[in-house]
């Protein structure tokens, strides 16, 4: 658990993070969202002491980080940034091995871990471990950056706009990878983005920042349905609200009995994808497929109800 307790950061009298308090539950993803310069990165960097707070406290699993040396904290907390930050003259394998090496892991354990992580990120170790970062695509470099951050199995992973530079297809893939890896390892993730779509997709909870202040800290459903201020509502985009609500749930959770013809949709698809397909194909219902079999239908009528403002 990460407890941020009344934290403030000022640079020469200018307050950039202003009395922020929030508690991030273990094994959850907290996304910090807000406009440029709102203090997102500064807030996150206080968690691994890259920035020292002016006042306030941060506790990790009950321990005040003021009592933990910065180097120790940074070995315990993974950190991945936009543009990956890989060492350009070190191979992919050496990059991923950075923290295990600092921790004095033996060669075999380190090499096994590097290969495990590269495989996990769908980078064939034999093909990629000896390449230099510039011999990789942007998306591959980003994956190596996240693999490096996870190398020593940290409980906490901080990510600063990790997918900002990726094209939409690679970005969606990287987000799915993050979700599955987070579930696999149970990592607590704090991710900074200015993209509300990304925040809603990834966040168990979303922290909305503006001018150094925390405006709202809540589940995506709550932020969409009950934005705390007009600024939060604007950030969500009023015309986007129904679609954002639908993007939070899966077809699997809203299957109705009944048979209907035509091209099916997968149960794992989001309701938003189902809604788009219903509108695009002009059908009132789609058959739903799970593990290759048709298991029911999803209907336009039901999705229209689900997209309406929650009471
Ligand atoms: N080392 C520093 N010295 C002085 N001011 C700083 C320093 N670091 C950040 N700031 C200022 O603090 C404010 C918040 O910066 P921060 O990087 O936290 O914002 P952000 O929300 O992450 O923005 P972006 O989305 O553009 O990265 C900005 O006005 C920035 O200019």
Summarize pLDDT for 279-309 with one digit per residue, the tens. Answer: 999 999 999 999 999 999 999 999 999 998 8
Residue nearest to atom 18 of ligand 1 (CA): 39
Q: Apex CA 224: angle with CA 197 and CA 278, to 5°?
A: 65
Residue nearest to atom 16 of ligand 1 (CA): 39
Backbone φ and ψ for 14, nearest 5 degrees, come out as -90, 120
Please check the confidence at residue 196 and state whether its pLDDT lies above 80: yes
- State the Cα–Cα distance between residues 81 and 18, nearest whole angstrom: 23
CA-derived radius of gyration, the chain: 21
ipTM confidence score: 0.94
Q: Which ligand 1 atom minimizes the distance to the CA of 38?
A: 21
Write the DSSP symbol of residue 309.
P
Nearest to 147, CA basis, from 87, 108, 212, 93 = 93
User: What's the CA-to-centroid distance between 119 and ligand 1, angstroms?
Assistant: 36
For the domain spanning 244-306, the CATH number is 3.90.1280.20
Indicate the pTM of the whole model: 0.87
At the second CATH level, the architecture of 2-236 is: 3-Layer(aba) Sandwich (3.40)
Residue nearest to atom 9 of ligand 1 (CA): 42
Tell me, rounded to whole angstroms, the distance of Cα 298 from its chain centroid: 28
203-213 pLDDT, tens per residue? 999 999 999 99
Domain ranges of the chain: 2-236, 244-306
**Do the Cβ atoms of 39 and 224 come closer than 8 Å?**
no
Residue nearest to atom 3 of ligand 1 (CA): 11
Question: According to the model, what pLDDT value does residue 96 have?
Answer: 93
User: What's the CA-to-centroid distance between 161 and ligand 1, angstroms?
Assistant: 14
Q: Which residues line ligand 1 (CB under 6 A)?
A: 11, 16, 34, 36-42, 194
Please check the confidence at residue 250 and state whether its pLDDT lies above 70: yes
Write the DSSP symbol of residue 253.
G
Token pair, residue 279, equals 């509108």
Please check the confidence at residue 90 and state whether its pLDDT lies above 80: yes
């Amino acid at each position: 658990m990460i407890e941020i307790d009344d934290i403030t950061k000022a640079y020469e009298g200018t307050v950039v993070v202003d009395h922020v308090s929030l508690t991030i539950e273990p094994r959850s993803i907290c996304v910090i969202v807000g406009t440029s310069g709102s203090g997102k990165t500064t807030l996150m960097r206080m968690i691994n002491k890259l920035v020292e707070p002016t006042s306030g406290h941060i506790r990790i699993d009950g321990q005040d980080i003021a009592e933990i040396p910065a180097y120790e904290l940074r070995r315990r907390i993974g950190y991945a940034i936009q543009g990956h930050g890989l060492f350009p003259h070190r191979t992919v394998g050496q990059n991923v091995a950075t923290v295990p090496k600092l921790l004095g892991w033996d060669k075999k354990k380190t090499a096994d871990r590097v290969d495990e992580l590269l495989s996990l990120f769908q980078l064939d170790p034999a093909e990629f471990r000896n390449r230099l970062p510039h011999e990789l695509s942007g998306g591959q470099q980003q994956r190596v950056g996240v693999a490096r951050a996870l190398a020593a199995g940290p409980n906490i992973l901080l990510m600063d706009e990790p997918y900002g530079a990726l094209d939409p297809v690679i970005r969606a893939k990287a987000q799915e990878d993050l979700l599955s890896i987070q579930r696999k390892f149970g990592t607590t993730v704090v991710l900074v983005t200015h993209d509300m779509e990304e925040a809603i997709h990834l966040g168990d909870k979303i922290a909305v920042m503006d001018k150094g202040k925390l405006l709202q800290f809540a589940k995506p459903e709550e932020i969409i349905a009950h934005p705390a201020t007009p600024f939060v509502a604007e950030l969500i985009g009023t015309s986007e609200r129904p679609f954002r609500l639908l993007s939070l749930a899966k077809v699997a959770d809203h299957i109705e009995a009944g048979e209907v013809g035509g091209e099916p949709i997968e149960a794992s698809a989001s309701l938003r994808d189902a809604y788009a397909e219903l509108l695009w194909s002009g059908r009132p219902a789609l058959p739903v497929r799970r593990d290759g079999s048709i298991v029911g239908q999803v209907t336009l009528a039901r999705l229209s109800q689900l997209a309406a403002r929650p009471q």
